[in-house]
Amino acid sequence: MTASLPDEVVDPNAPVTNMDYFMALEFEEIICPVVQRYADGLLAGKILGHRCPQCGLVYVPPRGYCPIDVLETTEADEVELADRGVVTNYTVVTPVQYYGQEETEPFAKVSVLLDEPGGMLSLQDVLEVPVAEVRIGMRLEAVWVPEAERTVAEIGNRWGGAGGCILGWRATGEPDVSSDQLNDRVF
Amino acid sequence: MADIAIIGHAQSPSWRMADLTEPQFLFPVISEAIASANINRRDIGFTCAGSCDYLSGQTFAFVMNLEAVGAWPPITESHVEMDGAWALYEAWVRLQVGDIDTALVFGSGKSSPGNPSEVYPLQLDPYTLTPLGVDPVSMAALQARALLDAGLVTEQEMAQVAARSRRDAMNNPYAQVSGEFDPEKLLAEPYVTMPLRKHDLPPISDGACAVILATADKAREVCERPVWIRGIDHRIEAHQPGMRDLTQSSSTRLAGERAGVGNAPIDVAELCVSFSHEESVLRRALGLGDEVKINPSGGPLAGNPIMAVGLARIAEAARQVSDFGAHRAVAHASSGQALQQNLVCVLEGD
Amino acid sequence: MSHQPCAVVGIGQTKHKKRRDDVSLPGLVREAAQRALDDAEMTWTDIDAVVLGKAPDPFEGVMMPELSMADALGAAGKPLMRVHTAGSVGGSTAIVATHLIETGIHERVLTVAYEKQSEGDAQWGLAGGRSGGMGAGGIFAPWMRSYIQHSGAPEDIGWKVAVKDRQNALKNPYAHLQLKDISIEKVKESPMLWEPIHFLESCPSSDGACAMVLTNEAGAKKSPRPPAWVLATAMRSELGQFPGRDPVRPQAGVECSRMLYAAAGITNPRAQIDVAELYVPFSWYEPMWLEGHDIAGPGEGWKMTDSGATALTGDFPVNPSGGVLSSNPIGASGMLRFAEAALQVRGAAGEHQVEGATVALGHAYGGAAQYYSMWIVGASLDAVAKHK
């Protein structure tokens, strides 16, 4: 006995319909030792980077290698960085709504070039400054989460950042650095 | 076609839950491959990578891997969202153009952060198969069932493949699962998904592999024992498992014919046997008789770093030629489930 | 050197739209591929190999889609590859396909690139699934700001590009955005997305596909319509992030175009190229790429835009198709640039045809402006030598 499908199921002229298929995948990744140490540094109120022994470039968060000289970097190359610096570039993002989005108001993201020994932190938040006043050359200092409340739950192998330990950056009130000196460094 | 040789290679061990990031464990693998090839990094004319975003759980995951390559000053490179064996194919094609003489190929992946039964259904037809939630072990089990019912393999033979592979893997410093296992004891274990038992399944592995290719002149200049790629081809079949004869691998047979497997006797083969029953299918598809040693490395049953595992078969086959006296070897890589897509490579020493 | 000429003898693309709810993923891809085959007057069985390209799989929620699309692509029994080089993928896919012809490995190759972004949530994908994502343009906005400051360009250059490309799109029936009343005022008044980039200065999110049929000289001779000859290809990449990197005029981009021009025998791109399809997803990238690929000198790119040189009727038209600003199925966008360049030198670009174009540049970039793929196509193998 063969069954046949009713006509309305096989009508090729019926309009195409769509259905939503919501899926969630879980990935659990172990924090690599170099990022773990970076996270431990943040908990202790320090920003740690690695300085390449060959080219001298400072990587923060440290990656465990210098991709320019293609050599591994270790704790021997660790350097404690300043938690003050200057805005070298920025944008103001008007948030788009998507699944998981929590932002609703325009927010600024700045690149902060840290004072000596250097290092660049990008996509940082600016606190207590209206978005319209964010500018290149602005001197900033880190606003640390009180030590007892610090967490590194947000720090992952890929995303780095300092969320959970550094709330953001506030203006120091020092005079702006002239933008010619900064060459609009993004990285 | 121009003669292209493998002049160097390296692998990471296969681990579960590696605590290094992918670029971090890829880093020394690439450096070692370059060193083993006796060339300078900056002489490399083309680089091609194989990896998969979904494995990593991150869009654009492959971008970070570029940091392990030495991509400053700029380089010429490309990427396939496929096993490194297909990256090797792209590099082999690129070398045929004739304007460059070396290529770096690598494959890498971390399978352990994700859950295979969540991730791999996404590799299937999204309209008819993904919603069924078919996990990859069940898909393999369908193929094993077809083979058992056709009398082409027995559960004993499958257990023997598993035991032999893990015994051979005791000589492979990169292997994750190795040791002496008694097939009879293995057969007493319960099924994981009928008719597959735990020993029939590959481990879940993180790992990387890199291979250096060179044109003939360059190979002669720098390499004492170049391993020549005499033939290489890859083919894909229909996707729906119901539309294929799962007891055969027609794409492996076709790729093998095009790669010239049958042109001369084969000494050794490194095949992407991820599930023990696949060895039977692949042997027959490639016409490999009992005299051919299969997977002296242990194969994927001993270490299964997805996205590197196919390329690692090519590296291991090359090792058999350059270091263990094999004259002619076959390497095979597979993509998709139940052997849907296959690449075959014939290697020869001088 | 084994290097046979490669010709583009069939080109097809879909109507690009925000949502192509009328087709499945394979349906979208086949629409473009079938059009390319029809253009070449070939059938699926004529094709020896297929090269597929697209951007991240999480955009549609299908992992390694070439596997489930093998049948739809007519690839069963054939070699099928899937290239992924971020935004430049459409271009690199075409280049991989080109090499298969140039090396004589295959005689007829179908290459396809697509994105069906409406299936997933591209913004979510770009944000890596996290809150506070920078969006497609947030990473690039500071670099555009840097260009504006260093070049001294007036603020309206970006708006001019946005208007020009959308007006060109009105002449391209496949283009997604058909903004009949686009104007400088409208662009300027549209909401700010990533300061200083306004909504109307940014690319849309599109569903779409593009396909080409490539063949060798013998195949080109038999082709029913004039082929476009691939005169040169180039790919170049660099690290996306390291201290002190210049992401405004990336070195990989400069090197890619220099390698390309050298291979094509081009010594003066401004004079020897008739039309360019450049990957401009945000308005300011038009002057940035003109400079970044040595078509204009440093600080001079915006003047080409300002003077009207890059308009459809100008002396260096850029993006007569409407470009990425008018259609952006991310995985396909690079191939669309390559295909539109080929349409130009075949004289097949319809209403957006640049008169007398015989040498055209197709360009794609991706990642943190770190991946580049480019090609030069010509109406004949000696199009550059013959160029006036």
Residues of chain C with Cβ-Cβ distance to B99 below 8 Å are 1, 3
Q: Distance of alpha carbon C106 from its chain centroid, rounded?
A: 24
Sort out which chain A residues have CB atoms less than 8 A from B28's CB and list them.
72
- Residue A27, class by beta-carbon neighbours within 10 Å (0-12 exposed, 13-18 middle, 19+ buried)? middle
Q: Per the structure block, which two tokens stand in for B152?
A: 């082409």
Of B24, B119, B130, the CB nearest to A64: B24
Cα separation of C309 and C302, whole Å?
A: 10
What integer is the mean pLDDT of B286-304? 98
Work out the number of other CB atoms within 10 angstroms of the CB of residue B128: 12
| DSSP states along C251-280 | HHHHHHHHHHHHHHT-S-HHHH-SEEE---
Report how far residue B239's alpha carbon sits from residue B236's, in angstroms, rounded to the nearest whole number. Answer: 8
Are A25 and B71 within 8 A, CB to CB? Answer: no
Q: In this predicted structure, what is the pLDDT of residue A3? A: 65
Cα angle B142, B146, B148 (rounded to 5 degrees) comes to 115
| Chain A residue closest in CA terms to C22 | A16
In the beta sheet, which residues pair with residue A79? A49
Is A65 at the interface with chain B, CB within 8 A?
yes
Q: What does the alpha-carbon distance between residue A100 and residue A102 come to, in Å, rounded to a whole number?
A: 6
Which residue in C193, C200, C202, C288 has the most chain A C-beta atoms within 10 A of its own C-beta, making it the best mutation to test that interface?
A: C193
- The predicted-structure confidence for B252-278, as pLDDT tens digits, reads as follows 999 999 999 999 999 999 999 999 999
Contact residues, A window 87-146, toward B, CB-based 8 Å cutoff: none
Q: Which of C200, C177, C258, C234 has the alpha carbon at shortest distance from C15?
A: C177
Whether the CB of B13 is below 8 Å from some CB of chain A: the reply is: no
Q: What is the pLDDT of residue A7?
A: 65
Which chain A residue has its CA at the smallest distance from C243's CA? A187
d(CA A102, CA A115): 32
- How many other β-carbons are positioned within 10 Å of the β-carbon of residue C299? 14
* Residue where the block lists tokens 């492979």: B172
- Determine contact, residues B56/C60, Cβ cutoff 8 Å: no
How long a stretch of residues is chain C? 388
Angstroms from C16 CA to nearest CA on chain B: 22
Nearest chain C Cα distance for residue B338, angstroms:
11
pLDDT the model gives residue B309 = 98
Which pLDDT tens digit goes with each residue over C75-101? 999 999 999 999 999 999 999 999 999
The pLDDT value given to residue A10: 67
Tokens encoding C249: 């005029």
- Partnered with residue A142 across adjacent β-strands are A169
C242 φψ region: left (φ > 0), alpha (ψ -120 to 50), beta (else): beta
Residues present in chain A in total: 187
Q: Is the pLDDT of residue C3 over 90?
A: no
User: A: neighbours with 3+ CB pairs under 8 Å?
Assistant: B, C
* Amino acid at the residue A75: E
Give C301-310's long-range contacts (Cβ < 8 A, gap of 24+). Answer: C301/C151, C302/C151, C302/C153, C302/C154, C302/C157, C305/C157, C305/C160, C305/C161, C305/C164, C306/C154, C306/C157, C306/C160, C310/C161, C310/C164, C310/C286
Average pLDDT, chain A: 89
- Spatial separation of the C-alpha atoms in residues B228 and B4, rounded to whole Å: 6
Tell me the domain boundaries of chain A. Answer: 33-182
- Determine the residue among B17, B24, B128 to mutate to test chain A binding: the one whose Cβ has the most chain A Cβ atoms within 10 Å: B24
CA nearest C64 in B: which residue?
A: B123
To the nearest whole Å, the CA of A65 is away from the closest chain B CA by 8
- Name which of B196, B194, B123 is nearest B162 in CA terms: B196
Cα separation, C148 vs B107, in Å, equals: 40
Could you tell me which residues come within 8 angstroms of residue C114 by beta carbon, excluding any fewer than 6 positions away? C25, C28, C29, C32, C54, C208, C209, C210, C329, C331, C332
**pLDDT mean over B286-303:** 98
Which residues of chain C neighbour B127 with C-beta distances below 8 Å?
24
Cβ count near C347 (within 10 Å): 17
How far does A156 lie from chain B, in Å, by closest CA? Answer: 10
B57, pLDDT greater than 60: yes
Q: What is the pTM of this model?
A: 0.96
- b/e string for B46-67 if b means 16 or more Cβ within 10 A? bbbbbbbbbbbbbbbbbbbbbb
Residues of A engaging C, defined by a Cβ cutoff of 8 Å? 16, 18, 21, 23, 57-59, 67-68, 89-96, 98-103, 106-107, 109, 111, 118-120, 123, 158-159, 179, 184-187
Report, as an integer, the average pLDDT of B288-297.
Answer: 97
Helix runs in chain C, H state only: 25-40, 89-102, 122-126, 135-138, 141-151, 157-169, 184-189, 217-222, 251-264, 269-272, 285-292, 301-306, 323-326, 330-346, 383-386
The answer to whether the Cβ–Cβ distance between B79 and C84 falls below 8 Å is yes
pLDDT one-digit tens code per residue, C230-283: 999 999 999 998 988 999 999 999 999 999 999 999 999 999 999 999 999 999
Inter-residue contact C91 to C335 (CB < 8 Å):
yes
A contact test, residue of C63, C195, C200, C251 with most A CBs within 10 A: C195
Between chains, do C236 and B75 touch, taking CB under 8 Å as contact? yes
Contact C56 B53 (CB under 8 A): yes
* Structure ipTM: 0.97
C265 touching B, CB under 8 A?
no
Q: Length of chain B, please?
A: 350
Per-residue confidence band for C1, with pLDDT thresholds at 50, 70 and 90: very low
Nearest CA in chain B to A64: B24
B12 close to B209: Cβ distance less than 8 angstroms:
yes
CA distance linking residue B171 with residue B298, whole number of Å: 9
Residue B191 has φ and ψ, to the nearest 5°, of: -70, 145
- In terms of Cα–Cα distance, which of C51, C80, C63, C65 is closest to B342? C80
Using CA atoms, how far apart are residues B338 and B144, in angstroms rounded to an integer? 9
Annotate B300-331 with DSSP letters as a single string: GGT---TTTHHHHHHHHHHHHHHHS--SEEEE
Considering only alpha carbons, which residue of chain C is nearest residue B251?
C77
C chain contacts of residue B252, beta-carbon cutoff 8 Å: none
| pLDDT above 80: residue C320 | yes
- Asked if C39 contacts C12 with a C-beta cutoff of 8 angstroms, the reply is yes
Find the mean pLDDT for residues A25-36. 92
Nearest to B12 by CA among B329, B326, B304: B304
Partner-chain contact A27 B68, CB within 8 Å? no
Question: Does residue B63 belong to the interface with chain A, where contact is any CB pair within 8 Å?
Answer: no
User: Considering Cα of C329, then C332, then C333, then C339, what sign does the dihedral take?
Assistant: negative
Contact indicator for C238, B47 with CB cutoff of 8 Å:
no
Total beta-carbon pairs less than 8 A apart between chain A and chain C? 97
Q: What angle do CA B246, B249, B253 make, to 5 degrees?
A: 160
Residue A1, pLDDT > 60, answer no
Contact list in B for residue A28 (CB cut-off 8 A) is 113
pLDDT tens readout for residues B125-142: 999 999 998 999 999 999
**Inter-chain contact C240–B66, Cβ cutoff 8 Å?**
yes
Size of interface A-B (CB pairs under 8 A): 63
- Provide residues of C within 8 Å CB-CB of chain A: 21-23, 61, 121, 123-124, 127-135, 138, 141-143, 145-146, 149-150, 191-195, 239, 241-245, 247-248
Count of CB atoms situated within 10 Å of the CB of C350: 11
d(CA B91, CA B70): 17
Confidence of residue A11 (pLDDT cuts 50, 70, 90): confident
Average pLDDT, chain C: 95
Better pLDDT: A156 or C26:
C26
Answer whether the bond into residue B203 is a cis peptide, omega within 30°: no
Do B250 and C77 lie within an 8 Å CB cutoff? yes
C69: Cβ contacts below 8 Å, ≥ 6 apart: B239, C25, C26, C29, C52, C75
**C105 within 8 A of B97, measured Cβ to Cβ:** no
Residues of A in contact with C191 (CB under 8 A): 94
Q: How far, in Å, CA of C18 to CA of C209, rounded?
A: 13
C-alpha distances (whole Å) from C74 to each of A92, B239, C43 are 47, 11, 10
- Report yes or no: B119 at the A interface, CB cutoff 8 Å: yes
C38 or B60, which is more confident: C38
- In C, minimum Cα distance to B80 occurs at C83
The radius of gyration of chain B from alpha carbons, rounded to an integer in Å, stands at: 19
**Contacts of residue C100 in chain B, CB cutoff 8 Å?**
93
* pLDDT score, position A153: 86
Cα separation, B133 vs B335, whole angstroms: 19
Is B126 close to C25, i.e. CB distance below 8 A? yes
Instruction: Answer yes or no: do B17 and A30 touch at CB < 8 A.
Output: yes
Q: Which residues, at least 6 apart from B245, have a Cβ–Cβ distance to it below 8 Å? A: B146
Which pLDDT belongs to residue A115? Answer: 96
